[in-house]
Amino acid sequence: MPRTLYCFIWQVSGAHQLWITVLSILLFGIGTSSLEVQRRIVNDALRGEVYRPILILAGLYLGISIAEGLVKLCLNIYRNWVGERAVRALRQSVFVTGEGGTIAPIPDLTEGIQLSIVLEEADPLGGFVGEAFSEPVLQAGVLISVVGYLLYLQPLMALLVVFVFFPQIGFVPLMQNAINRRVQTRVGLLREMSGEIVGARGAIDGDGRQHTRIHAVFMQNMAIYKLKFSMNFLMNLMTQLGVTAILALGGYFVVVGKIEIGTVVAFLSGLSRINDPWGDLVTWYRDLQATRVKYRLLCEAQQLGAIAGEVGE
């Protein structure tokens, strides 16, 4: 198997990643344009001018929304198709090791690893293949384009929005590293359980070790949940601080006549556009780190003969 996760991803998906990336760029380009349309609709309505331009802008907004939805539909189907092909290839590679008949008996641990790969480990690893390149391109593209647009509208308020997300750069990697350690421990425990079941020719727990492992998996899962949801809580808290700052500062600028109310609406909408891709980017980073751990374990499984050395498309 390739030495790194991304070499493996390129091996099993190849040029499909380029087309997925193109769709991602198209998607964030379409989505950002709707912010300006929203701002103009609100400002035109508050000025009390003729209704026809507002109706045209509303129709344009609907068209942009439909186009965005269709591109997203195509992107999601394409990404999942690529991911499922990788899952299929991983599962097939387990059975390749037994083709032609195996003379030497396979150790129980190796059989347990094969069972774990087929039933559990292939799905998250293969699923990441579909979004490995496109997700950071899409979400980072949305972030850059929306922040750039907000800087164009009102630099001070835009810098305030950016400042809200700075603390997350510190606590997200620290908490994710803690999650990764627990993911690796959990995978090891499940492999040991599978190996014991294969060795005993059934779910037999005469010495109580399996029950101990089951409890250990439970504890690892709960630790992962606590870290993950605590991270989500802190991220949501920072977002709400951003909303509060926009309402306070934006309201002041409207009162003194420095900006129009449509700009405040655009900032609130822009913050939600930033929050979603930022959360998705953090989730992608979290999945990347966890998948690297799982891929390293998969490479170790290949050294034990549990999986074929080459994984096809």
Q: What is the pTM of this model?
A: 0.65
Would you state the torsion angle of the CA atoms of residues 250, 253, 258, 259, taken in this order, to the nearest 10 degrees? 20
Number of other CB atoms surrounding residue 222 within 10 Å: 11
Residue 164 near residue 235, CB atoms below 8 Å: no
Counting every residue, how long is the chain? 313
Neighbours of 275 (CB within 10 A): 20
Q: Is 111 exposed, middle or buried (0-12, 13-18, 19+ CB in 10 A)?
A: middle
Between CA 243 and CA 274 the distance in angstroms is: 12
d(CA 97, CA 114) in angstroms, rounded, equals 10
- List the structure tokens of 190: 């499940």
For the chain, domain boundaries: 5-303
Q: With contact defined as beta carbons under 8 Å apart, do 178 and 263 qualify?
A: no
**Terminal Cα distance for the chain, rounded:** 13
Instruction: Please report the pLDDT score of residue 268 as a whole number.
Output: 81
User: Taking a C-beta distance cutoff of 8 angstroms, is the pair 192, 112 a contact?
Assistant: yes
Angle between helices 16-47 and 51-96 (to 10 degrees): 160
Question: CA–CA separation, 296 vs 313, rounded Å?
Answer: 20
How confident is the prediction along the chain (313 residues), in pLDDT tens digits per residue?
Answer: 778 888 888 888 888 999 999 999 998 888 878 877 877 887 777 676 667 778 888 899 899 989 999 999 999 999 999 988 888 877 777 666 555 444 445 554 555 565 555 556 667 777 888 888 989 998 888 888 888 888 888 888 888 777 777 787 788 888 888 888 888 888 888 878 877 776 666 666 667 788 888 899 899 999 999 998 998 888 888 888 888 888 888 888 888 888 877 788 778 877 777 777 887 888 888 888 888 887 887 777 666 665 555 555 5
| CATH code at 5-303 | 1.20.1560.10
